[in-house]
Amino acid sequence: MKVAMYYSQRDIRIEDLPIPKIGENEALVEMRACGLCGSDMMSWYLEGRAPLVLGHEPAGIIAKKGSKVKDFNVGDKVFVHHHVACLKCYYCLRGDYTLCEQFHNTHIEPGGFAEYFRVPAPNLQIDTLKIPDNISFEEATFIEPVGCCLRAIKKCGVQAGDSIAVIGSGNIGIIHIALSKIFGATKVIASDIIDYRLNMAKKFGADVAVNPKKEDLSEIVKAETDGRGVDVAFVTAPSLEAYKTGLSVCRKGGKLCVFAPTHPKERLQISPKDLFFSEIQIIPSYSTSHLETRLALELIKSGRLKLKELITHRFRLEEAAEAFKTALENKESLKVIILN
């Protein structure tokens, strides 16, 4: 079978691998669509792991199932989550599913950017979801990223009447904007240095869109929140400056969501004294669990979350190198997906 093998951001090769063999409790899925994630663009995150097949936002059709698989049939349209928790360890029992050891050790094989991939038994049992007829494979690639955003929204306690700032209005930032509105936020302020993204942010519910290279974001936030600052700031850009900005626009007692990791050698200086007196909470949110993926599917199925317009570029599997180049370089790309 054909796979897109990642050697580096600028070196993606189409190679042949054997079709994975499956066990009695596993399934083989034929990939139909798989989205590129921001983490696929973080070279430091992938250093030391290459070559490997990336792709963790896949949707496809079950091509083969193990002899003991009962809940799925060949031909079923499915979304498959690449990480699943054990549901019984110390962390799982406290709802910290993404900190579970199994969560980090479960993976689809070899990855979503392949003609076929193996779904291990835990992934099949816990977080493989059937895709309804009214959801396309392309739309189903949003289940995982929407799940990630939902988890952040829940961890930060977004509720009716809140004011929100989203620092970084790419694909993920725009999903945060749309979800914040669904959860009842009355004022959502989007920030990005690319006007194209800001225009899209408005289409998805942003009340105010600010290019910080042209306007003073802090002053606009103050003007829009009676001088307080926002209740929650989601930082979706992997930049120290973005985090500094996020802190600066939070109100006293507000929340800063750490959604995008920076390079491991980068450090953000924060005064414990300032945190103490401002009571700003810093809340990291990594990945998603089986709880949020189900909610993501329901939001997409119901039509409350319409994300297809975020797909700006589509490539065949054989064009994976061009897909990565587009995601890296094209200032008018939001969601790039690979089709099979």
| β-pair type (230-235, 163-167) | parallel
Residues 46 and 29: their CA atoms lie apart, in Å, by 25
Dihedral of CA atoms 59, 63, 68, 71 in degrees, nearest 10, equals: 40
Phi, psi (deg, nearest 5) at residue 233 = -120, 120
Mean pLDDT of 159-163: 97
pLDDT digits (tens, 9 = 90+) for 305-335: 999 999 999 999 999 999 999 999 999 999 9
Q: Is pLDDT at 156 greater than 90 in this prediction?
A: yes
Q: Is the bond preceding 51 in cis, omega lying within 30 degrees of 0?
A: yes
SS3 category, 126: helix
Nearest C-alpha neighbor of 117 from the set 73, 156, 63? 63
Q: How far apart are CA 123 and CA 202, in angstroms?
A: 36
How far is the first Cα of the chain from the last one, in angstroms, to the nearest whole number?
11
Domains by residue range for the chain, with CATH: 2-146+288-339 (3.90.180.10), 157-284 (3.40.50.720)
Taking 90 as the threshold, does the pLDDT of residue 47 lie above it?
Answer: no
pLDDT of residue 90: 98
Amino acid at 19: I
Between CA 165 and CA 221 the distance in angstroms is 8
220 residue type, one letter = I
State which H helix or E strand residue 201 sits in: helix 195-203
| Rounded distance between C-alpha atoms, residue 114 and residue 5, angstroms | 9
| Cα-based distances in Å from 306 to 33, 142, 204 | 17, 10, 9
Chain segment 198-252, per-residue pLDDT in tens = 999 999 999 999 999 999 999 999 999 999 999 999 999 999 999 999 999 999 9
| Beta pairing partners, 313 | 336
Tell me how crowded residue 173 is: count the other CB atoms within 10 A of its CB.
28
How far is Cα of residue 182 from the mean position of the Cα atoms in its chain? 18
- Cβ(58)–Cβ(31) under 8 Å? yes
pLDDT at 48 over 90: no
Predicted pLDDT at 281: 98
Q: Is the N-terminal amide bond of 284 cis, ω within 30° of 0?
A: no
User: Which helix (H) or strand (E) is 328 found in, with range?
Assistant: helix 320-329
Residue 227: predicted pLDDT: 97
Q: Which tokens hold the place of 237?
A: 């850009």
What is the pLDDT of the chain when averaged over all its residues?
97
Residue 63: pLDDT over 90: yes
Q: Which of 2-16, 33-47, 65-79 has the lowest mean pLDDT?
A: 33-47
Give, in order, the Cα–Cα distances in Å from 44 to each of 41, 67, 238, 251: 9, 41, 12, 33
**Furthest CA-CA distance within the chain:** 63
Query: What is the arithmetic mean of pLDDT over 252-268?
Result: 96
The dihedral formed by the CA atoms of 111, 112, 118 and 119, expressed in degrees to the nearest 10? 110
Element (H, E) at 155: helix 143-155
Count other Cβ atoms within 10 Å, centred on residue 215. Answer: 13
> What is the pLDDT confidence band of residue 297, given thresholds at 50, 70 and 90?
very high
Residue 250 — φ and ψ, nearest 5°? Answer: -75, 145
At 18, the amino acid letter reads P
100-108 long-range contacts, CB within 8 A, separation 24+: 103/287, 106/82, 107/82, 107/83, 108/29, 108/56, 108/58, 108/80, 108/82
Stretch (H or E) spanning 261:
none
